[in-house]
Chain A
């Protein structure tokens, strides 16, 4: 059975998320985007926490709303449409939650998913990337050395979303570099651990409201029980969590594209040239028709991937396809919207240029689109 109609609950959720985004995100988007780096506005977290936006993806039994993947996508589209930079803060926590759900013991889930669902506003960060290791995880050099009843972790993580902001880090480290993938493990590291510090903060092109930076681990000691799940599972947990997160990255592209398209559509109906709105020129109307078509296609591909996740079916290929299509759709729509609006679109007075900069990140981060194509190709 194939259906594209949202349930009553999903429609209500969509409205709630849109109202929240319009009231508590959109008004701050421009100001946050233009803050000189490094800067992080903690009020973002306060606003999210006050309206349950940091826990909708956490299972009910751990204090969250327990939304399924399709419903999470519906919410995330609204948040990203308002400001994908602010949405990035939630995105960092979502990846932590996915890792915990996939690989954590029941005790770890109860302790740390509950922490992320805390109404006081707690966020998480996953540390995988290093200066010399990203998609190639076997090159990870952060070491975790067993020492008595714990592990001592030393290394540096790079470009980490919510670095310096997170209450909880999941750090991928090797317990024995010679054993490569077999020795990779996630370690749960509280944000206030002695030896954990924020390094260089990235001065990003877009998504400037969220903070990405280096996380330095200098002999950080954690109890043995902070190794996520069972030893040797870090690689598989990371891959599965990134796969699960991929459609939500895709839907952010849909949200950004939708905002750019709506801005251009509105402009084209108000901008009068030669005695009529420019929308009545086929060249303009067709461009908008193309944008609307591609946004719908990207959204439906993303919903398909989410639906497969919710049904417990194989979804890897479809998730990668969705990310490719949606991230490239976002770039194309932003570019065409800017072109269609001429000099006004190229000005920083309107948000098109922000959408453009925010969109670019989606084809680059959490597995660039070349990686996504290789995932799809592997399964052909």
Chain B
């Protein structure tokens, strides 16, 4: 069950990035059949490969794991209790959309560093 949920998120992230299974598989160095099995949860995904997927798909690692509770509002409210994070959000909101994307890209890149 866990691997099926992770697989769904891989598929979602892959589609958001406009990649076919063949294209992502080529970047990962695995076969399309293997990637299909990861997305279907039929094959166990190990840590190093998921890290690599997160890097290629430009997603934070948490994106693939944090699927059991998706109460976005609750979790965002909780985060905003931190004054630093609140300031980050307020300042980010003042940026044009394109520049916000750059900041987000940097954060995702930073989160994917070992």
Q: Give the distance in Å from the alpha carbon of A237 to the alpha carbon of B69 in the complex.
A: 21
Known: A232-B61, A232-B62. A243 touches B69 (CB 8 A): no
The residue in chain B whose Cβ has the minimal distance to the Cβ of A378 is B42
The residue in chain A whose Cβ has the minimal distance to the Cβ of B113 is A230
Q: Give the distance in Å from the alpha carbon of A316 to the alpha carbon of B3 in the complex.
A: 13
Q: Give the distance in Å from the alpha carbon of A102 to the alpha carbon of B114 in the complex.
A: 13
**Contact present for A379 and B68 (CB under 8 Å):** no
Chain B residues whose CB sits within 8 angstroms of the CB of A314 once the complex forms:
34, 43
Total A residues in contact with B, Cβ cutoff 8 Å: 24
Interface of chain B, main secondary structure: loop
**Contact present for A138 and B61 (CB under 8 Å):** no
Chain B residues whose CB sits within 8 angstroms of the CB of A179 once the complex forms:
66, 68-69, 75
Residue among B34, B42, B50, B68 making CB contact with A236, cutoff 8 Å: B50
Number of A-B pairs whose CB atoms are under 8 Å? 56
Known: A178-B69, A179-B68, A180-B69. A233 touches B61 (CB 8 A): yes
Residue among B2, B43, B45, B50 making CB contact with A379, cutoff 8 Å: B43
**Contact present for B47 and A233 (CB under 8 Å):** yes
**Contact present for A230 and B69 (CB under 8 Å):** no
Chain A residues whose CB sits within 8 angstroms of the CB of B34 once the complex forms:
314
A-B CB proximity, top 4 nearest: A182-B66, A180-B68, A182-B65, A316-B44
Contact residues of A with B, CB < 8 Å?
102-103, 105, 138, 178-182, 229-230, 232-233, 235-237, 239-240, 243, 314, 316, 375, 378-379
For the complex with contacts A229-B47, A233-B61, 15 further pairs of A-B residues with Cβ separation under 8 Å are A138-B68, A179-B69, A179-B75, A229-B114, A232-B61, A235-B2, A236-B45, A236-B46, A236-B47, A239-B44, A240-B44, A240-B47, A243-B44, A314-B34, A378-B42
